[in-house]
Amino acid sequence: MHERRAQALQRRRGRIGNRGVIRSVIYDKLILGLTAKWYAEVLGRLPEGAALLDVGIGTAGALLANAELVASKRLAVTGIDIDADYIERARRELARSGVQDRVRVLQESVYDHRDGPYDAVYFSASFMLLPEPERALRHCCTLLRPGGRIYFTQTIQQKPSRVMEVIKPLLKRVTSIDFGRVTYEQDFKAQIRAAGLELEEFTTLSRHGSRASALAVATLGSDRPDRLKSREAEA
C-alpha cells in the first residue's frame, strides 16, 4: 500500500515537473525574441562594471542572448523571480553559459529583496505584473547607489483598447503565462511620478498599431534631469 502511494506521488510530481518545463519553454518561445532586443538596449546604456538587479528575470533567456555584452562590459547581474519553474530553467541554462560567474538568480519577491547596492534596477515587462508597483519602485530606490537608475522596457498601449483589456487576462488561461494588465502610457508615467521618480528618458523602440515597445529610464529625486528626453528610434 505504502509503495503504491509513493509511486503515485512520484508520478504526480513528475507531471507537475513536466508542466513546469513546458511553461518555461512556452515563455521563451512567446516573448524571448522581443525581450532579448529590449535587454540589449538597456545593457548598452549601463556603464562598464555596473551592478544590475533584474526584477522578473524569468528563464534568463534574454540575458543569455546578450551574454557577450554582459561579459564585455564586466557586468554583475542579480536576477530575481517568484516563479520556481523559471528560476530552475535559468539556473540550468546559466550553468552551461560563459557568464555564470557574472550572474546569480534567486527565487525571491522584489518586495523581500535586501541586497545591493546596485547601479541599476531593470524591469523587463515585469512592472505590469506587480500587485503594488509604486511600493516596488520605492523599495528599489533604497537598493540603488547615488546616481543609480531604474530601467523599464514593456509594451505600452497608447490608445484605449477594451479588446486588449479583455484578451490579456485570457492569455494566461490559454498559455499559463501571466502577461499582466494593459499598460497605458499616461498611467505608467503617473506611477513613476507617484513613487518620487522622474523620467530621464522615454524612447519608443517600435510601434505595432496602437501599441508601442517602449524603454524608460527613471532617476531618483536628487538626480532629477531638467527635462524629459524623448526620442523615437527604429526597431
pLDDT tens sequence across 78-135: 999 999 999 999 999 999 999 999 999 999 999 999 999 999 999 998 898 888 999 9
H/E stretch holding 167 reads: helix 162-175
226: Cα separation from own chain's centroid: 28
End-to-end CA gap in the chain: 61
Q: What are 143-200's pLDDT values in tens digits?
A: 999 999 999 998 887 665 544 444 545 444 444 444 456 678 888 999 999 999 999 9
Handedness of CA 13, 21, 85, 131 (dihedral sign): negative
Handedness of CA 81, 206, 217, 158 (dihedral sign): negative
d(CA 161, CA 165): 6
d(CA 229, CA 218): 11
Q: Average the pLDDT over 25-47 and give the result.
A: 79
Q: What pLDDT score does 182 carry?
A: 66
Highest mean pLDDT among 18-22, 109-113, 231-235: 109-113
Backbone angles phi, psi at 198, to 5 degrees: -130, 145
Domains observed in the chain = 2-232 (3.40.50.150)
Cell numbers found for residue 33: 525574441
Q: Average the pLDDT over 68-75 and give the result.
A: 97
Q: What pLDDT score does 4 carry?
A: 53
